[in-house]
Chain A
């Protein structure tokens, strides 16, 4: 056996997951550094002159897109590697290159955003060169997963249902890069809530149900179902089907949140307050996941309630365009999504999940996010009654923004600790692999 093939065979799956975690955390830390920079610039706008043309407006594009397509996406690559068996055998050698390709596309995209390339569409900010490079990186991932799927199709002893689900998953994943490319076009724009200019209740329900579907699918790729725990699983899937039917039946045009059909149907999501914890309780999880599982379920609950309350007539009218809704988005991204992703990574890493379970960083992150949301909600409250509150400087506004900066620094510190630990873990794993290669070569 050549040293190269020995290396390939000995590359264990947790090293692949550790790699995915490292890439995710790298972008989290970079995104958080930029977040702190933005918070400083809001307090001291004069510092912008140090940045030349790379002013606040350009950095915020990088900040949001890295949070979404870097930190928010890369952990799912680890999940997909595991589910499709790409972390074992010959395909394992291509997991790291795919992670590199993803990160390289993000790095190139960051430079294009900083140089003023933008689609003008928030959260779908892909244009020019990056609009092609990023979907290509996604296609590379798809190719790896497809090869892994074909390779394990005959040998794996998985049930037919699992194989069909994976095949379906591959079909959906193949559509994603093309969907990103098409949806980034300036010619396409979703329905608008005429009273706020924001999304309609129907489109919010639609996107929330996609999140719910992902939440329901995740455990099947991560853990075993406990015996005798069928009802929460069945009830959850039935609820998803029912809510999807409700969503399909809703009007798709520009509809106001004052329409009862809009806010009442969005209220149906509150069903997931009791269902999600019961659903996750029906699976066997690694002991290391306990903290982050609780955290993500708490954040999910908070998100469901605040999301609905903030959509209600009168409330949305008050908070629209204010820091209050920024705080809500932060609950979704830094609270719920981050906790969910870390929970997934801890489950995938197993014993190596210690990198995320340190008490200090766990509390720093979660309380930091909570404090941030409270501060932004307060700021949104003041802004709702006085639009000048954040437009011009004032002592209260400045105090809130200083506190906001402090919470950003706390979150940055927590993420740095994770990155340092992930680097140490990766180093240890690579050393172990090198020893195995040496032994096999000898």
Chain B
């Protein structure tokens, strides 16, 4: 009785799906290529081997439903598994070009027979309930196991043996008889669309997937950002599994159209993100989700969701689907990736129009007015903008003005104000005060309403261009765990330098008086009394060491760019701390430098620190490192790098 229950649970169906996917992914698509590489088969020879595999796959996909010699689906499935397993073992032999072509043909043929037979009868092997869910489990587990780091990184030999053993296991678990349980009806919205549309949709997705896969596989930097390292692989595996289960849920509840659209959205984003090296990580998250979403559908549609009215028709549909979408589209995708090295956005749009075509046609039929009005408005806006472009669009503008536009584009106003409030402590920290007339001359004034970072109205007074640039590259490193994101991408073109030029231009007429006021600043007596050398050391490590210690990160990264390398405070020289000064004068000078920096140099201040924090830094420095001695004070002349 329990064996009957076990059979009804449909575990064989889920396992066969998992075995097929593992064989295809880790062996046919991956280990076999590595093996060919090891055998020195490359270039034209490799293309002919891969063409043989595709030919075998296409041929057997189309022929399997029409074979009358072995009418038993169980026998056909075992033959497919047997041929696939044998082909995996053959790859262990020292193959030449001819034998490699023969083995590739066998791999393709075995897979063609296996996949078409499996999906034609999968409904009978998946138990009576939750059949789509079992397809999702099988697919998800297949992908997960392929991404287990130890397995993924194994030698082609191990992959080939594992593929063979899995095929044997598949033969073992295939039921001897076909169950007669009916195919579970699903909330199928796909069957309302013509079969040709669905084949075209799958083909577009496989095409995108294959192209993206090939590009990642053959670009070292992309591969490093996606498929290398234990964490990456586990993340990929878990994402595949979750997406596969999600796909099964969506297929059951919302139908095929939504799943294919979602898969396209994910893959399209991944392909577009791969164009930008800074977004590879995000692409690596979206790619497995998109792949698993459609992979479940690729099995579930022909086996459980198609509108086929007979087993024979189901088989023929599966054959065409796998021949066109599986083999031909995959070859086209790889071919495009080989030739172009990337997926052009126009190609992504073309794939989208194919995948979304059924949905778009339905939308066009049921939402004609909506589409017409939206189209009319967007078109009219386009026309008006072309006829009346903004006045500044064509006029040449200065670098500072260009930088101002970058400031606006990046939304800097959302974190940085440009308004020094008179008669407040803003003046000492971010001053001097700008006149209202000057403010109203700006178009528009960029006052802002929130300070997530310092005020920038007079940033040109207190920061050098180099400091600004260093900060844009790595804010957290330069200014002690700043919450600002890196804007290194701006320096890939002229935007970064423009922005630096704009910020450097932000300085009003009262700069000199302001610097004089800063020189008069001293921490309050209470702050000095509460100062603590221990916390001064911590603050120094946090804010200063990046430039002022021998192994400081900022110092090391930018050492070629400094006009004068920041002083190593354990060694000197101390150009701004004359040894002749009394200790209390030196302490005051240290506090002033820590708070406001040194005007006209790359030494920036830390205006936002409290009086107690500044006094603590000064105390620790004066007690420990900043001890100028005549012997090391003037050894290195001003302006010369040590």
Q: Tell whether A and B belong to one assembly.
A: yes
Which residues in A have some Cβ–Cβ distance to B below 8 Å? Answer: 41-42, 45-46, 48-53, 55-58, 60-61, 93-94, 96-98, 100-101, 104-105, 108, 116-122, 127-129, 132-133, 136-137, 140, 186-189, 192, 194-198, 254, 317, 320-323, 325-326, 383, 386-388, 390-393
Task: Give the nearest-CB partner of B409 in chain A.
Answer: A116
| Shortest CB distance A103–B (Å) | 9
Size bin of chain B's contact surface:
35 or more
A-B contact pairs, 29 of them (CB 8 A): A42-B452, A50-B279, A52-B282, A53-B276, A55-B410, A57-B412, A58-B409, A97-B370, A97-B373, A97-B374, A104-B378, A108-B378, A118-B411, A119-B444, A120-B444, A122-B413, A127-B390, A132-B384, A187-B443, A187-B444, A189-B440, A189-B445, A194-B436, A196-B419, A197-B419, A317-B421, A383-B451, A392-B608, A393-B481
Verify A391–B483 contact, CB threshold 8 A: yes
Q: A51 — which chain B residues lie within 8 A by C-beta?
A: 279, 282
* Distance between Cα atoms of A133 and B439 in the complex (Å): 30
| Shortest CB distance A157–B (Å) | 30
| Shortest CB distance B239–A (Å) | 14
B486 within 8 A of A: yes
* Distance between Cα atoms of A93 and B369 in the complex (Å): 8
Q: A189 — which chain B residues lie within 8 A by C-beta?
A: 440, 444-445
Q: B480 — which chain A residues lie within 8 A by C-beta?
A: 392
Task: Give the nearest-CB partner of A196 in chain B.
Answer: B421
Verify B451–A322 contact, CB threshold 8 A: yes
Task: Give the nearest-CB partner of A62 in chain B.
Answer: B411
| A-B contacts besides A104-B377, A391-B608, 4 pairs, CB < 8 Å | A52-B273, A60-B414, A118-B411, A137-B377
Verify B377–A128 contact, CB threshold 8 A: no
B381 within 8 A of A: yes
Verify A386–B610 contact, CB threshold 8 A: yes
Nearest first, the 6 closest Cβ-Cβ pairs linking A and B are A57-B411, A197-B419, A48-B485, A116-B409, A133-B381, A120-B408
| Shortest CB distance A390–B (Å) | 6
Q: B451 — which chain A residues lie within 8 A by C-beta?
A: 321-322, 383, 387, 390-391
Verify B449–A325 contact, CB threshold 8 A: yes
Task: Give the nearest-CB partner of B488 in chain A.
Answer: A49
Q: Pick the contact of A45 from B276, B281, B377, B485 — CB < 8 Å?
A: B485
| Shortest CB distance A419–B (Å) | 16
Q: A122 — which chain B residues lie within 8 A by C-beta?
A: 413-414, 448-449
B415 within 8 A of A: yes
A129-B381 contact, Cβ under 8 Å, with A41-B485, A386-B610: yes
B47 within 8 A of A: no
B487 within 8 A of A: yes
Task: Give the nearest-CB partner of B444 in chain A.
Answer: A186
Per the 8 Å Cβ criterion, residues 440-462 of B in contact with A are 440, 443-455
Task: Give the nearest-CB partner of B378 in chain A.
Answer: A133
A118-B408 contact, Cβ under 8 Å, with A45-B483, A96-B369, A192-B439: yes
Verify A120–B413 contact, CB threshold 8 A: yes
* Distance between Cα atoms of A121 and B610 in the complex (Å): 32
| Shortest CB distance B519–A (Å) | 21
Q: Pick the contact of B443 from A186, A195, A323 — CB < 8 Å?
A: A186
* Distance between Cα atoms of A49 and B390 in the complex (Å): 32
A321-B417 contact, Cβ under 8 Å, with A49-B281, A100-B374, A392-B608: yes
Verify B422–A194 contact, CB threshold 8 A: yes
B385 within 8 A of A: yes
Q: A129 — which chain B residues lie within 8 A by C-beta?
A: 381-382, 385
Q: A187 — which chain B residues lie within 8 A by C-beta?
A: 443-444
Q: B410 — which chain A residues lie within 8 A by C-beta?
A: 55, 57-58, 116
B221 within 8 A of A: no
A391-B421 contact, Cβ under 8 Å, with A55-B410, A57-B415: no
* Distance between Cα atoms of A188 and B442 in the complex (Å): 10
Most chain B CB inside 10 Å of its own CB: which residue of A96, A108, A122: A122
* Distance between Cα atoms of A65 and B626 in the complex (Å): 51
| Shortest CB distance B317–A (Å) | 31
Per the 8 Å Cβ criterion, residues 153-198 of B in contact with A are none
Task: Give the nearest-CB partner of A130 in chain B.
Answer: B381
Verify A50–B444 contact, CB threshold 8 A: no
Interface string of B341-382 (1 = CB under 8 A from A): 000000000000000000000000001011111100110111
Q: Pick the contact of B373 from A100, A127, A194, A320 — CB < 8 Å?
A: A100
Task: Give the nearest-CB partner of A48 in chain B.
Answer: B485
Q: B446 — which chain A residues lie within 8 A by C-beta?
A: 120
* Distance between Cα atoms of A345 and B424 in the complex (Å): 46
Verify B390–A128 contact, CB threshold 8 A: yes
Verify B445–A49 contact, CB threshold 8 A: no
Verify B421–A195 contact, CB threshold 8 A: yes
Q: B370 — which chain A residues lie within 8 A by C-beta?
A: 96-97, 100-101
Task: Give the nearest-CB partner of B490 in chain A.
Answer: A53
* Distance between Cα atoms of A120 and B489 in the complex (Å): 21
Verify B408–A192 contact, CB threshold 8 A: no
Task: Give the nearest-CB partner of A383 in chain B.
Answer: B451
| Shortest CB distance A65–B (Å) | 11
Q: B447 — which chain A residues lie within 8 A by C-beta?
A: 192, 197-198
* Distance between Cα atoms of A119 and B370 in the complex (Å): 29
| Shortest CB distance B30–A (Å) | 27
B429 within 8 A of A: yes
* Distance between Cα atoms of A383 and B450 in the complex (Å): 11
Per the 8 Å Cβ criterion, residues 601-618 of B in contact with A are 608-610
B476 within 8 A of A: yes
| Shortest CB distance B433–A (Å) | 10
Q: B408 — which chain A residues lie within 8 A by C-beta?
A: 118-120
Q: A120 — which chain B residues lie within 8 A by C-beta?
A: 408, 413, 444, 446
B278 within 8 A of A: yes
* Distance between Cα atoms of A133 and B454 in the complex (Å): 35
* Distance between Cα atoms of A105 and B267 in the complex (Å): 25
Verify B279–A52 contact, CB threshold 8 A: yes
B230 within 8 A of A: no
Verify A317–B449 contact, CB threshold 8 A: no
Q: Pick the contact of A56 from B367, B372, B485 — CB < 8 Å?
A: B485
Verify A197–B417 contact, CB threshold 8 A: yes
| Shortest CB distance B387–A (Å) | 10
| Shortest CB distance A4–B (Å) | 10
| Shortest CB distance B311–A (Å) | 35
Q: Pick the contact of B450 from A93, A104, A136, A326 — CB < 8 Å?
A: A326
A50-B417 contact, Cβ under 8 Å, with A101-B374, A317-B424, A388-B610: no
Task: Give the nearest-CB partner of B485 in chain A.
Answer: A48
* Distance between Cα atoms of A392 and B454 in the complex (Å): 10
| Shortest CB distance A422–B (Å) | 17
Q: A121 — which chain B residues lie within 8 A by C-beta?
A: 444
A105-B273 contact, Cβ under 8 Å, with A60-B414, A321-B451: no
B529 within 8 A of A: no
B538 within 8 A of A: no
Most chain A CB inside 10 Å of its own CB: which residue of B373, B415, B448: B373
| Shortest CB distance B237–A (Å) | 20
Verify B485–A94 contact, CB threshold 8 A: no
